[in-house]
């Protein structure tokens, strides 16, 4: 069985290094006003991925364990932590 980090990391690398970042959205667990929501991170805002973290243009650093879904911009689900 593949580790979750490995699968997430493989998808993120595929997106980041494919040259087609604009076609994807990464949904991460985010706390807002005491509630957990899924915050969309458009692929074109991902600056780097390394060491178990996603680095976003805004300066935000997101650990892989907060990634819940990866979708294409047309809504097609390509990865879901819940689907496992």
Mind listing the pLDDT tens digit for each residue in 17-51? 888 899 999 999 988 888 898 999 999 999 999 99
Q: Which positions ≥6 away from 79 have C-beta within 8 Å? A: 7, 8, 11, 67, 69, 70
Q: Which domain covers residue 18, as residue numbers? A: 4-80
Supply the pTM of this predicted model. Answer: 0.84
> Which pLDDT band, with edges at 50, 70 and 90, does 83 fall under?
low
Q: Which residue has the tokens 């990865």?
A: 79
Mean local confidence (pLDDT), 37-66? 94
Computed over every residue of the chain, the mean pLDDT equals 88
Domain count for the chain? 1
């Amino acid at each position: 069985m593949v580790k979750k980090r490995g699968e997430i990391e493989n998808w993120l690398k595929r997106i980041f290094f494919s040259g087609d970042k604009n076609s994807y959205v990464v949904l991460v667990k985010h706390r807002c006003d005491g509630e957990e929501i899924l915050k969309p991170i458009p692929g074109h805002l991902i600056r780097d991925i390394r060491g178990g973290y996603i680095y976003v243009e805004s300066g935000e650093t997101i650990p892989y364990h907060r990634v819940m879904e990866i979708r294409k911009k047309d809504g097609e689900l390509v990865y879901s932590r819940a689907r496992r």
